Amino acid sequence: MHCVVNNSNDIILEAKQLGKSFPSPDGAISVLNGIDFELRRGESVSIRGESGSGKSTLLNVLSGLETANTGELFWNGQKVSGRSLSWLASQRTAYIGFVFQSYYLAPELNALENVLLGARIAGRINSTVKDRAEALLQRVGMGHRLRHSSTKLSGGERQRVAVARALINDPPLVLADEPTGNLDEATGLAVMDLLLELAGEEAKSLVLVTHNPEFAKRTQRQLTLHLGQFS
């Protein structure tokens, strides 16, 4: 299925016929089969699908964390497929913010330091960035725990820090892979509310992978991945 968007100048993320397979003793296992996908600036899209349908692999390929075997990938109209992993990494820090299921906070750092880590990797640490980090943590309800070790935070608190970290470099695109998967129902709902509100407030484009149909309905478009293809 080709997800058509009319204004090509407004496309922030585009995939054309992406294919991805992995080697196995019994031959290559195809995970993505000719994916066509377009995302507009400021648009939110959810992707659902059964386990093993290729959702996480698709996010990894769209973000350049993994390379596709076939097809083309464009960020903001620029073709990035075929680029080196180091080039992709250098561009990704300012272009894409990530929210993962498992938080991936550095245990030796406190909440504020974890948020600033994303900016530090991008070489952007200054007083303005530090102010933004504190403001983001206030916005996600963690202003009272700026200097608490991440190991002392609950799962919901860690994910709030992760949401703030995803936004620290003011990326135009946020990719969220099952961001409530490790949380209880009430905490997951609160984190999802926060993620969608912040994406809207900051006019971010959002791709949300979720197994929760209610969360999926809250994005502007809903897609389903089945056997490596949109259906």
pLDDT digits (tens, 9 = 90+) for 188-202: 999 999 999 999 999
pLDDT digits (tens, 9 = 90+) for 62-114: 999 999 999 999 999 999 999 998 899 989 999 999 999 999 999 999 999 99
* pLDDT above 70: residue 5: no
Q: What are phi and psi of 8, to 5 degrees?
A: -65, -25
Question: Kindly report the CA angle at 134 between 210 and 126, in degrees rounded to 5?
Answer: 110
The pLDDT score that the predictor gives to residue 2 is 41
Which pair of structure tokens corresponds to residue 126?
A: 């200054």
Say which residues have a Cβ less than 8 Å from residue 127's Cβ, sequence separation at least 6: none
Residue pair 114/142 in contact (Cβ under 8 Å)? The answer is no
Q: Any idea which residue has 């992760």 for tokens?
A: 162
Tally of CA atoms within 13 A in the half-sphere of 174 that contains its CB: 31
Three-class HEC string of 165-212: HHHCCCCCEEEEECCCCCCCHHHHHHHHHHHHHHHHHCCCEEEEECCC
In Å, what is the CA distance from 191 to each residue of 10, 54, 59?
Answer: 28, 24, 20
Any idea which architecture 44-67+86-230 has in CATH? 3-Layer(aba) Sandwich (3.40)
* pLDDT above 50: residue 6: no
* pLDDT above 60: residue 7: no
Three-state SS for 76?
Answer: coil
- Mean pLDDT score of the chain, rounded to an integer? 92
pTM for this model (two decimals)? 0.91
The pLDDT score that the predictor gives to residue 124 is 78
Domain spans in the chain, listed from the N-terminal domain onward: 44-67+86-230
The pLDDT score that the predictor gives to residue 8 is 56
Least confidently predicted of 8-17, 94-103, 211-220:
8-17
Which position has the higher pLDDT, 52 or 207?
207
